[in-house]
Amino acid sequence: MQSVKERILELKKQKNAVILAHNYTSPEVQDLADFVGDSLGLSQKAAATDADIIVFCGVSFMGETAKILSPKKKVLLPEPEAKCAMASMCSADQIRQVKQKYPNATVVAYVNTTAETKTVTDYCCTSANALNVVKQIPNDQILFVPDTNLGKYVKEKSGKDIILWSGFCPVHQCVTLRQVEELRKQHPGAEVVAHPECRLEVLETADFIGSTEAILKYCQKSDKKEFIVLTESGMGHRLEGACPGKSFYFTAQSLCMTMKMISPESILECMEKETGEVVLDAETMEKAYLPVKRMTDILE
């Protein structure tokens, strides 16, 4: 009898599928994937393949982004109800309402937003390029959605008039100074590396601030052997694999249960039955693609 992994690999070949796993999924899910990384980077990698089917092991907005960048490919979500809490904190209608108050503001949306929300924004950004994108926009007044913590970080570093949204990632919001201080006491030689979705007062204590990919590269290059990592604990699996001989410590609360909904069994069912397909109408995909394209134009 075939194992779950063997059946998944067989189906992948039969259906010309590519499996993507976000850094925050469980180790057993990451080990099944062709690519592991952050959401936009994964979507870009999948778009560059000749796969007919993209199986995206992540939250729903990530599947939508993959569909926007690969409109002719079939995109499947193993757990369609795995929805990002932060993405749910900012709707297109809410942005339209706020824009009435700030009609001249340029709307910059973190990629952690739904496709519908992207349709009413001017630029997208990632945690890696948010500061660069905002700096290069000619307008000084920016409505930054939905992550208030990333927005505060960009505001402090850019000096621009950033209008903050009240959204947040529950995992990063739950990282407190007290928790960081406790980990420092337990591991006095460790460097603190933090994701910019953390609160500003937490970021100010970090030795390095960056996206998940930037954190990975930093830890690989660092001479240090121990790191306190202020992001979701699923990142530990990838860090340990990329940095043999180094140790990584996370706060006890750094767990996204939504990401952990995805399992090898749900991937198998999704691939067998082709369930959880991401369906977006042509107009939504076209409008949502524009802010992503403007972001990549800035970076090129």
Joined tokens for residue 135: 């700096």
CA proximity to 228, closest of 219, 220, 237: 219
For 229-288, how does the pLDDT look when each residue is reduced to its tens digit (9 = 90+)? 999 999 999 999 999 999 999 998 899 999 999 999 999 999 999 999 999 999 999 999
Cα 272 to its chain centre, rounded Å, is: 27
Q: 174-211 as b/e, with b when 16 or more CB fall inside 10 Å?
A: bbeeebbeebeeebeebbbbbbbbbbeebbeebeebbb
Domains and CATH numbers, the chain: 4-83+259-279 (3.40.50.10800), 87-169 (3.40.50.10800), 175-249 (3.40.50.10800)
pLDDT digits (tens, 9 = 90+) for 170-224: 999 999 999 999 999 999 999 999 999 999 999 999 999 999 999 999 999 999 9
Indicate if the pLDDT at residue 299 is higher than 80. Answer: no
Confidence label for 2 from pLDDT (cuts 50, 70 and 90): confident
Sorting pLDDT into bands at 50, 70 and 90, what band is 169? very high
Mean pLDDT of 112-139: 97
Closest CA to 56 of 256, 234, 262: 262
In the structure encoding, which two tokens stand for residue 124, read together? 């997208």
Average pLDDT over residues 55-80: 97
Residues 229 and 144: their CA atoms lie apart, in Å, by 25
How deeply is 89 buried, as exposed, middle or buried, from its count of CB atoms within 10 A (0-12, 13-18, 19+)?
buried
Per-residue DSSP letter, 175 = -
- Give the pLDDT confidence of 11-48 residue by residue, as tens digits: 999 999 999 999 999 999 999 999 999 989 999 999 99
The pLDDT assigned to 215 comes to: 98
pLDDT band at 291 (very low <50, low <70, confident <90, very high): very high
Q: Which residue has the tokens 């601030």?
A: 209
